[in-house]
Amino acid sequence: MTITLWLEQAMQDADRRGLPALRPLLEALARATSALRIADWNADATGQRESDVASGFPGLSAVEGSRTSERE
């Protein structure tokens, strides 16, 4: 599941359960999940790194920027 789709469905579910306050937390979690998915230790079944595969999450570029600044 792409992070964009995951986030959309999670927010809908949170709204349905009467928890709209979860929305910003889920957005933050989506950014963290994006960072996790592009980490360079990941590999996919082709033998390539998953970071070479687009995640499809619009917030990813911002996450990548912050990761780059923290990367040692």
Q: Which residues bind another protein (CB under 8 A)?
A: 1, 6, 10, 13-14, 19, 21-22, 25-26, 29, 32-33, 35-37, 39, 41-42, 67-68, 70-72
Burial code (b: 16+ CB inside 10 Å, e: under 16) for 43-71 equals eeeeeeebbeeebebebbeebeeeeeeee
Cβ atoms 36, 64 nearer than 8 A: no
Min separation Cβ 47 and another protein, Å: 16
State the minimum distance, in angstroms, from the CB of residue 22 to another protein: 6
Which residue number, 13 or 52, has a Cβ lying nearer to another protein? 13
